[in-house]
């Protein structure tokens, strides 16, 4: 059986959170977004910026000099691509396939009653977070997300280019673990209409995030360590199994989000 998977959040690690978020907001005309209050208990600050319905750019920064995020950022010069958060209907199945293939899963937790996995970057090319939410139209932030800024300069995350050691092998492994069938392109995976393309020369945190222009003033923010490519290309069709998160109630459950993020 072929499953489905949707890329929800592109997470950039940085040691200059406020400055980077301000720069990106100016370059793209994005709104203020929101923060996950639970992350401070884990030594992290963050800002999550809605780009399209249910699609986000997130910036995370360590609050101190210790911990896995701070250590990783030291190795990449203070900024770089870090995590891709992917919604999947069967996280338990993903975990089973990881175990069968010997892929390490340092994080296996529960958030809001949903299984959350983080796969080891040395095995899959980056920190791949798999969020087990079976309803395509549901996401963690449905009750706090203010939605995309109406007059923003971009309106979609089209794809992400990630340098890895072996693009074809990495793409094949992701397809297998996420149960998405055979790759259409040998170096690429489609995640709900947003692609991830694995390029040679890695592993590297110097990702390229490709966004769609919706206004004349959108420009590359020019952040060292991660590139943004602004294009007018159309977004790929969204598979019928994927969906836009809907608003849901009650909202109180959101604040129970409590798992150990980014331990890889």
Kindly report, residue by residue over 12-28, the tens digit of the pLDDT. 999 999 999 999 999 99
Of residues 252 and 244, which shows the higher confidence score?
244
Kindly report, residue by residue over 4-62, the tens digit of the pLDDT. 999 999 999 999 999 999 999 999 999 989 998 778 877 899 999 999 999 999 999 99
Under 8 Å between Cβ of 79 and 15:
yes
The pTM of the full predicted model, rounded to 2 decimals, is 0.89
Task: Give me the domains of the chain, ranges plus CATH numbers.
Answer: 6-136+149-238 (3.10.180.10)
pLDDT of residue 264: 46
Number of neighbours of residue 173 by Cβ within 10 angstroms: 22
Q: Is residue 87 scored above 70 in pLDDT?
A: yes
Long-range contacts (CB closer than 8 Å, 24 or more residues apart) made by 185-188: none
Q: Is residue 95 scored above 50 in pLDDT?
A: yes
* DSSP type of residue 188: E
Nearest-angstrom CA–CA distance, 21 and 48:
9
Nearest-angstrom CA–CA distance, 92 and 130:
10
Number of neighbours of residue 110 by Cβ within 10 angstroms: 13
**DSSP conformation letters of 149-186:** -TT-SEEEEEEEEEE-S-HHHHHHHHHHHHT--S-SST
The C-alpha angle with vertex 148 and arms to 143 and 149, in degrees rounded to 5, equals: 125
144, 154, 180, 192, 236 from 239: Cα distances, Å: 25, 22, 12, 6, 9
b/e sequence 209-239, b meaning 16+ C-beta within 10 Å: bbbbbbeeebeebebebbbbebeeeebeeee
Nearest-angstrom CA–CA distance, 71 and 219:
30
Which tokens in the block code for residue 159? 């794809």
């Amino acid at each position: 059986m072929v499953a489905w998977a949707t890329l929800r959040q592109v997470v950039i690690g940085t040691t200059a959170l406020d400055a980077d978020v301000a720069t990106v907001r100016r370059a793209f005309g994005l709104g203020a977004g929101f923060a996950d209050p639970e992350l401070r208990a884990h030594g992290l600050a963050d800002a999550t910026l809605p780009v399209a319905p249910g699609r986000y750019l997130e910036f995370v920064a360590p609050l101190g000099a210790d911990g896995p995020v701070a250590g990783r950022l030291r190795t990449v010069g203070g900024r770089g691509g870090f995590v891709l958060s992917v919604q999947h209907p069967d996280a338990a199945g993903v975990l089973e396939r990881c175990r069968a293939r010997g892929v390490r899963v340092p994080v296996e937790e529960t958030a809001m009653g949903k299984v959350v996995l983080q796969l080891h970057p040395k095995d899959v090319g980056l920190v791949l977070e798999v969020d087990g939410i079976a309803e395509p139209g549901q996401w963690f932030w449905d009750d706090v997300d203010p939605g995309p800024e109406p007059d923003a300069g971009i309106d979609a995350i089209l794809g992400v280019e990630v340098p890895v050691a072996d693009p074809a092998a990495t793409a094949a492994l992701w397809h297998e673990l996420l149960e998405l069938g055979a790759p259409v392109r040998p170096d690429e995976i489609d995640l709900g209409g947003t692609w991830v393309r694995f390029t040679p020369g890695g592993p590297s945190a110097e990702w390229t995030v490709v966004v769609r222009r919706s206004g004349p003033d959108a420009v590359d923010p020019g952040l060292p360590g991660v590139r943004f490519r602004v294009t007018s290309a159309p977004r790929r069709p969204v598979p019928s199994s994927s969906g836009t998160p809907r608003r849901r109630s009650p909202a109180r459950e959101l604040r129970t989000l409590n798992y150990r993020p980014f331990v890889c």
